[in-house]
Structures are given as structure tokens and as C-alpha cells.
């Protein structure tokens, strides 16, 4: 029963966060991927007691921003957005690293699975945008193996460390509202458009619910 109530509260908090960020951010053609042409405002930072969860939201936003680079590396090459074999390698690596940082393997795997799904959502959205608006297509194709994955690997370490630091607030009933507040703040700070804002919310539910 407690888990069901927590999931319901989490869904409500996510919906409220999305509504808040919709007021702050609106998709704009011609804006840089992940940004609006203009931000109406930025929400105030969350209270100090939510900083550990805010840090997790920040690292998640850092990882999500790299989805744009991954999309640029794949677009027009025929390489699929979804790569189950590669995803399994990433999740197995995360599960192995998590133990050394005192993070539950199941939690780490669930969180990173959400991160991967959120990234794929952004990539699909960008592919569709670039198909419709050729002028917005990336000017260069980054090296996925040599340039992008090392950056993702560094973020993996930071996110695992963030989960370890957030162990106590994760267990509180206020976890989801605080986490969503952190996500709203990050989305506003980065001027995320609707695509990236929704993906950020998609990346985070397992942090409190796993």
C-alpha cells in the first residue's frame, strides 16, 4: 500500500513539475537543441535540505544534454537509436560499479535504465525535428566512441556518487517532490524545451521509487 501511495504521489508530482516547466519553457523552431529561444523565468532554487536530490537532478540533466550529441553522431548514418546490446553493457557496468560506491545494484540499474530511455526519447524527437527542418540539422558528426562515450562514462561515476550521497533523502516521503523541484529548477536554468523537459522527468522516477 505504501509503495502504491508513493507511486501515485510521484506521478502527481511529475505532472505538477511538467506543468510548471511548461510555463517556463516552450519549444521554439530555430533554437539550439535542448533550449528555448527565450526563457520567461527561472524557478527559485530548492531548499538546502533537498540539495542531495537536486544534485542528482543536475547530473541527470548533464547526461540528458549529451543526448543531443549522441543524436548528432547517429543521424544520417543508419545507426539505430535503440541498441539493446550496448545498453546491456552499460547496465552491467553500472551494476558492477555501484557496489564499490555503496549503491544498491537494483537501484542503480533501474535509474540508469530510465536515463537511457529518456536519452532515446530526446534522440527520437531530434531525429523527427531534423527530418522536418533540414536547416536545424547538426553541422558536424561527433565521434560516438572516441568523443561521446568517455563523457558519458564520467557522468556515470558522478551519478552513482550522487545516488550514494542521496541515500537518506531517498527514503523520505518528500523525496519525489524535492527531486521534481530540482528537475524544474534545472530545466529552467538550462532553458530546456518541452522535449528535453519531459525527458528529464522521465529520467528520474526510479531515484525515489526503486
Tens digits of pLDDT across the chain (210 residues): 444 444 444 444 444 454 444 433 444 344 455 554 334 355 555 555 568 999 999 999 999 999 999 999 999 999 999 999 999 999 999 999 998 999 999 999 999 999 999 999 999 999 999 999 999 999 999 999 999 999 999 999 999 999 999 999 998 999 999 999 999 999 999 999 999 999 999 999 999 975
Measured over the CA atoms of residue 52, residue 53, residue 56 and residue 57, the dihedral's sign is negative
Please tell me the predicted confidence (pLDDT) of residue 209.
Answer: 78
Please tell me the predicted confidence (pLDDT) of residue 63.
Answer: 97
Please tell me the predicted confidence (pLDDT) of residue 21.
Answer: 42
Please tell me the predicted confidence (pLDDT) of residue 71.
Answer: 97
State how many domains the chain has. Answer: 1
Which residue in the block uniquely carries the three cell numbers 526503486?
210
Pairwise CA distance, residues 12 & 191, whole Å: 23
- CATH, residue 175: 1.20.59.10
C-alpha to C-alpha distances, 53 to 59, 159, 192, nearest whole angstrom: 10, 11, 19
Range(s) of the domain holding residue 114: 2-209
- Residue 191: partners with Cβ closer than 8 Å, 6 or more residues away: 25, 34, 35, 36, 39
Pairwise CA distance, residues 183 & 13, whole Å: 11
Amino acid at each position: 500500500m505504501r509503495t502504491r501511495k508513493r507511486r501515485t504521489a510521484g506521478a502527481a508530482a511529475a505532472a505538477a513539475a511538467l506543468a510548471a516547466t511548461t510555463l517556463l519553457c516552450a519549444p521554439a523552431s530555430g533554437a539550439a537543441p535542448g533550449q528555448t529561444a527565450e526563457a520567461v523565468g527561472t524557478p527559485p532554487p530548492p531548499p538546502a535540505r533537498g540539495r542531495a536530490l537536486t544534485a542528482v537532478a543536475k547530473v541527470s540533466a548533464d547526461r540528458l544534454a549529451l543526448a543531443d550529441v549522441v543524436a548528432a553522431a547517429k543521424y544520417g548514418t543508419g545507426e539505430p537509436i535503440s541498441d539493446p546490446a550496448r545498453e546491456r553493457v552499460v547496465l552491467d557496468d553500472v551494476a558492477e560499479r555501484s557496489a564499490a560506491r555503496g549503491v544498491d545494484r537494483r537501484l542503480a540499474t533501474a535509474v540508469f535504465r530510465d536515463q537511457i530511455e529518456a536519452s532515446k526519447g530526446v534522440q527520437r524527437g531530434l531525429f523527427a525535428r531534423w527530418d522536418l527542418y533540414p536547416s536545424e540539422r547538426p553541422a558536424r558528426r561527433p565521434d560516438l566512441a572516441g568523443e561521446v562515450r568517455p563523457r558519458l562514462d564520467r557522468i556515470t561515476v558522478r551519478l552513482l556518487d550522487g545516488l550514494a550521497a542521496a541515500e537518506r533523502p531517498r527514503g523520505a516521503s518528500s523525496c519525489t517532490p524535492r527531486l521534481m523541484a530540482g528537475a524544474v529548477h534545472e530545466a529552467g536554468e538550462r532553458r530546456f524545451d518541452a522535449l528535453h523537459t519531459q525527458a528529464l522527468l522521465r529520467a528520474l522516477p526510479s531515484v525515489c521509487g526503486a
